[in-house]
């Protein structure tokens, strides 16, 4: 993802995103081909899965960069909160499609979704407007430049078409992107937030099947269906987090608040989730709301805000790079969490939940400085623009060549 984000700020987003989608479709189809080709070699699946990961990593930095080109900071929270619901809906719909095709042979559970994403990749290439200028260029019959970004074209107001020859359209460097205020704290915060989220994603169905709910064990199918309520809560959480962050004009305050509320939500789910099916459903929904709310906010609106940070002074493109840094760092946590759970669950599930609550606490603490700054802004009315203007008199802008 680090590499994909770096390239995303330099290449045609529409073409690059199409390559990622079609490549993902090919790799997913190759998984299914093993069913008919009678392939059982472990390293075949390992190689295909690794290659699929490379192609899939192109997606998130590119789509966040596209939305960042279209929507300004004041409205990104709620718009991207609604938009980010697609991740949870994709989890649910993808599972239903794969399950529905399973009766025709497990190969179709891979080939079916592969054909779908390949088709949608072609649709993206033909119809995706990556920025306002691309739409105006098509309307005027002039050449479309899909490599232009928000900082290249929008300098005054939303969807402004005016350009300035004084802007440097070079993409920000990887190390320079880390230096943008707020990138590092949110990146490491997402490491622990995504650790919690992905542990639930992979382990929740198994945990539910192993736990007595209302005095009885559920079947694996019922456990899997029940676990989708965590994603439903995530949809609501993403929208609420975006809305509150827009109203407060405080991304860190909102993310931190949701993260800290994750701790009691996890505790209550572990202690009382077994009492009855109704209580389990309610607590699972609430846990999904608080766990996935900040996850959705940080990987969308926060990443878009930081990718167009005032410290860049409109001189550089950083949307895809910043998104990749934040979500890529979070993906490391997403890989570690489920693995740790496999070992810790052998000791006790209580220990697993204590690990998750500890991760949530650390995640919230990492935002402390940013939360304090946003509280001061709310109380005393200082703005990011004022801080940048003051800082610009004493230090040069971020070096885009790093």
Position 252 confidence tier, pLDDT thresholds 50, 70, 90: very high
Which of 198, 197, 208, 349 has the alpha carbon at shortest distance from 281? 208
Mean pLDDT of all residues in 126-151: 66
Position 398 confidence tier, pLDDT thresholds 50, 70, 90: very low
Query: Which pLDDT value is given to residue 399?
Result: 46
Question: Regarding predicted confidence, which is higher, 103 or 350?
Answer: 350
Query: Which pLDDT value is given to residue 254?
Result: 94
Mean pLDDT of all residues in 144-148: 53
Considering only 28-37, 100-109, 244-253, 393-402, which range has the smallest mean pLDDT?
Answer: 393-402
Region of residue 221 (phi > 0: left; psi between -120 and 50: alpha; otherwise: beta): alpha
Query: Which pLDDT value is given to residue 386?
Result: 54
Give pLDDT tens digits for 307-322.
777 766 554 467 788 8
Mean pLDDT of all residues in 182-193: 94
Query: Which pLDDT value is given to residue 170?
Result: 63
Query: Which pLDDT value is given to residue 131?
Result: 78
Question: Regarding predicted confidence, which is higher, 225 or 378?
Answer: 378
Look-up: residue for tokens 């004084």? 166
Query: Which pLDDT value is given to residue 79?
Result: 87
pLDDT higher than threshold 80 for residue 260: yes
Query: Which pLDDT value is given to residue 402?
Result: 42
Query: Which pLDDT value is given to residue 299?
Result: 87
pLDDT higher than threshold 50 for residue 305: yes
Any long-range contacts for 266-274 (C-beta under 8 Å, 24+ apart)?
266/196, 266/291, 266/353, 266/356, 266/357, 266/360, 267/353, 267/357, 269/353, 270/349, 270/350, 270/353, 273/211, 273/213, 274/211, 274/212, 274/213, 274/214
> What percent of the chain clears pLDDT 70, i.e. is strictly above it?
84
pLDDT higher than threshold 90 for residue 169: no
Query: Which pLDDT value is given to residue 397?
Result: 46
pLDDT higher than threshold 50 for residue 393: no
Distance, CA of 14 to CA of 122 (rounded, Å): 10
Answer whether 0.85 is exceeded by the pTM: no
pLDDT higher than threshold 60 for residue 384: no
Query: Which pLDDT value is given to residue 159?
Result: 32
């Amino acid at each position: 993802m680090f590499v994909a984000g770096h390239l995303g700020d330099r290449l045609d987003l529409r073409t690059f995103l199409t390559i990622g989608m079609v490549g993902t479709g090919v790799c997913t189809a190759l998984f299914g081909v093993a069913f008919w080709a009678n392939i059982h070699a472990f390293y075949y699946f390992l190689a295909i899965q690794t290659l699929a990961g490379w192609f899939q990593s192109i997606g998130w930095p590119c789509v966040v960069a596209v939305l960042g080109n279209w929507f300004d900071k004041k409205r990104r929270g709620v718009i991207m909160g609604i938009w980010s619901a697609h991740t949870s809906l994709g989890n649910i719909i993808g599972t239903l499609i794969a399950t529905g095709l399973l009766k025709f042979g497990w190969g179709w559970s891979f080939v079916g979704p592969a054909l779908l994403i390949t088709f949608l990749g072609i649709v993206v290439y033909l119809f995706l407007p990556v920025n306002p200028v691309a739409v105006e260029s098509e309307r005027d019959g002039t050449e479309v430049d899909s490599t232009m970004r928000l900082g290249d074209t929008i300098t005054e107001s939303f969807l402004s078409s005016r350009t300035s020859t004084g802007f440097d359209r070079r993409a920000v460097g990887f190390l320079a992107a880390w230096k943008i205020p707020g990138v590092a704290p949110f990146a490491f915060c997402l490491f622990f937030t995504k650790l919690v989220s992905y542990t639930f994603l992979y382990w929740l169905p198994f945990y539910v099947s192993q736990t007595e709910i209302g005095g009885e064990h559920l079947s694996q199918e019922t456990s899997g269906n029940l676990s989708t309520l965590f994603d439903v809560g995530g949809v609501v959480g993403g929208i609420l987090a975006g809305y509150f962050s827009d109203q407060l004009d405080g991304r860190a305050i909102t993310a931190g608040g949701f993260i800290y509320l994750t701790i009691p939500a996890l505790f209550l789910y572990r202690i009382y989730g077994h009492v009855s099916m109704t209580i389990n459903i309610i607590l699972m929904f609430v846990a999904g709301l608080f766990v996935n709310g900040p996850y959705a906010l940080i990987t969308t609106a926060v990443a878009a805000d930081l990718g167009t940070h005032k410290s860049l002074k409109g001189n550089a493109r950083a949307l895809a790079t910043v998104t990749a840094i934040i979500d890529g760092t979070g993906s490391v946590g997403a890989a570690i969490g489920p693995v740790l759970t496999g070992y810790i669950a052998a000791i006790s599930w209580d220990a697993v939940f204590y690990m998750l609550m500890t991760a949530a606490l650390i995640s919230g603490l990492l935002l402390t400085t940013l939360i304090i700054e946003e509280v001061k802004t709310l109380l005393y009315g200082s703005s990011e623009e004022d801080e940048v203007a003051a800082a610009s008199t004493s230090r040069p802008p971020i070096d885009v060549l790093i």
